[in-house]
Structure 1
């Protein structure tokens, strides 16, 4: 792997040190990050101290934190050796997955053997990895179930990961087309009648799906596939009357679908297809008194074994750390 670890003898209740030796100084520079920002991020998250000594990093800390920090550094270095970039989100994700191992009771001396997620999604432009245990379970269910629900707050990767899995299945020939949909419901604002063609009218509602798709495939390829109808992005209302065979279908913002719309959508499932329904029950934009089809689907389909439900919390947020704090604050306020 291009590195080795040397751990000095341990003494009771002392601050221990782990020495990591890296044999490629260029990769070590990338590992540390500009102005050692990657090291600073690990130090802050795990409450350790990391000092560079030539081609070695000294990790100092107490308890399992030192082992976890060393494991994160080793995994990041492995990513660099494989020719992949290291982003701040990768570091947060590895630390979160490591925290989950600690919560399971894994001893501190075994945390050093921890590795990042073994679940990967290959797309045209990038390799996507789940960054939390909740995301990992969700991705596994997306591959293993014909109908999967992802329910939770904003920023937890529900739609992003679903689109990534869809792109993976499309380019590998497991499905013939991708269909991305969401209800065309205004988020508390009256926008009036939009000018332009049908596509120009609905594109503003579909923009989050465009953003996710363009993250995984070149823009020209996306445009060509849309022309050929290999990729469709359309409002939920356009699904009526269709049977979707050998397609990967994503319904985003499902909390804004009515009960009848949800039933209509679910019954579009055809042979060889996969469906993913994502939504946030705390952000319903339906008119007052109109029940959410997502809530009804949870209740009605709960007993069907071939349907998977994954629930996310603020711990799964992979956007700016402040987003998780905002979600927790609103949840606490609603609980009062």
Structure 2
């Protein structure tokens, strides 16, 4: 393939793509039905635009590969498909066979294969341009999705390959509704309802790590809603040992993506305080750990600093 930078910061030029009409009498496949997973699809000229548009709901990861020219790039695509199922809708895996659909690779100006690109709100950016082992890919995607969560990106794709309930001549899709009420509420800015809906999920299944992380992040969003950032920082600067003032700024830092700053602020507060105030700050910090994700390197480092502050 032509070696040129992947430099498409905005919308993709799709003018060269022609969408052939379905053959007469041919049954149409379910939109986005994918190869071997509820959150996987083979991308072609017909569903490419719809795939990009689905990134308005939740992230889409496009894997560009060629099994004939580089078999290991095909393995990377297979690994991404497997992880899409593990992450249960946090992202949609779109597999692009550049030999079968070269026009898509040309439209996106893909410099080489393999390449995995993140598409969010219709905007693509490259993530990997080398073959990586599935464990490394899993870790990287975990960190990526946790970072997106701290930025308020909490959407989830509905299953693409779903069972159907047939009544008469009509078929109704059966989708996974677990997270939709909470996510819809948060998307509408109703953070209180989002907290309540996530709390229901956690109460029903305390082992649901996704719901627990969503609940923690929804609480951050609720606490920071309509807060004056400058006033909050001024209050924290004037009252360095005030737990409420310091935890509020930590929330704001986390919401703004300054995760280490949020953790460091509370660790230092814990060092300076004792008794009930110290425990309040500790509990708040643990809540922020949950919002980011326990496997995140920043959380691991934060836990080490917390242990040092406590003991």
Query: 1 or 2, which has the higher helix percentage?
Result: 2
Relative to the length of structure 1, the TM-score reads 0.31
Query: Which has the larger share of strand?
Result: 1
Q: TM-score, normalised by structure 2?
A: 0.33
